[in-house]
Amino acid sequence: MSAPESFPIDKIHIPDKKRKALKQDAVDALAESILEAGQREPILVRRDKDHFVLVEGLHRLEACKALGESAIMGLLISAEEARQRELPPPPVDPEREKMERLRKLRLEKEEAEKLTTAPRGVSGAHAATRPRGPTETTNRSNRTATAKPSRPGQGSSPRTLSDWIKQQERSGGRY
């Protein structure tokens, strides 16, 4: 790429598509920055007969105009490079988006069904608010609880996460 050079602002044409994307807040912020530190990044222009066409740097160009500058630092690029930069991103496949939305909805529905069919003691949201039974100990340093652990698979709700996982594996459920 070539070195930045000075271009007269009045010889730079701004395409209508680019002009529509102008945000005055960004121009004001850039103008303040250029006043304090100078123009840090050059704009990109391409040659078109007797003038230049702006490829990139609309807000920088407008900020320099607002500051009363007659020239701006920029890089001259070829028309081919300009076309490559101006290509829109590839279109999103609508069928793929639809399938992704359906997949998310299915997963949300499965999760909601799990929550409604899950035993009350297993649910993470209810475990914190569940009152402790009289047989459970409140001392966390004591590793032996006074409550008897239930055996998974006997119709009772599992007491620990590992019991729950084992129960899910036996029943073929996903966790």
Q: pLDDT grade, residue 110 (50/70/90)?
A: very high
Cα 62 to its chain centre, rounded Å, is 29
Instruction: Give residue 139's pLDDT.
Output: 53
Partnered with residue 13 across adjacent β-strands are 53
Question: Is residue 119's pLDDT more than 70?
Answer: no
Q: pLDDT grade, residue 108 (50/70/90)?
A: very high
Q: Which amino acid is at 61?
A: L
Surface-to-core class of residue 18, CB atoms within 10 Å of its CB (0-12 exposed, 13-18 middle, 19+ buried): middle
What does pTM read for this prediction? 0.48
Query: Could you identify the residue written with the tokens 């209508």?
Result: 16
> CB–CB of 157/167 below 8 Å?
no
* Whole-angstrom distance, CA of residue 115 vs CA of residue 107: 12
Angle at 77 between CA 71 and CA 79, to 5 degrees: 120
Q: What is the mean pLDDT of the chain?
A: 79
- SS3 of the chain: CCCCEEEEHHHEECCHHHHCCCCHHHHHHHHHHHHHHCCCCCEEEEEECCEEEEEECHHHHHHHHHCCCCEEEEEEECHHHHHHHHCCCCCCCHHHHHHHHHHHHHHHHHHHHHHHHCCCCCCHHHHCCCCCCCCCCCCCCCCCCCCCCCCCCCCCCCCCHHHHHHHHHHHCCCC
**How much is the average pLDDT of 128-150?**
51
Query: Could you identify the residue written with the tokens 């998310």?
Result: 104
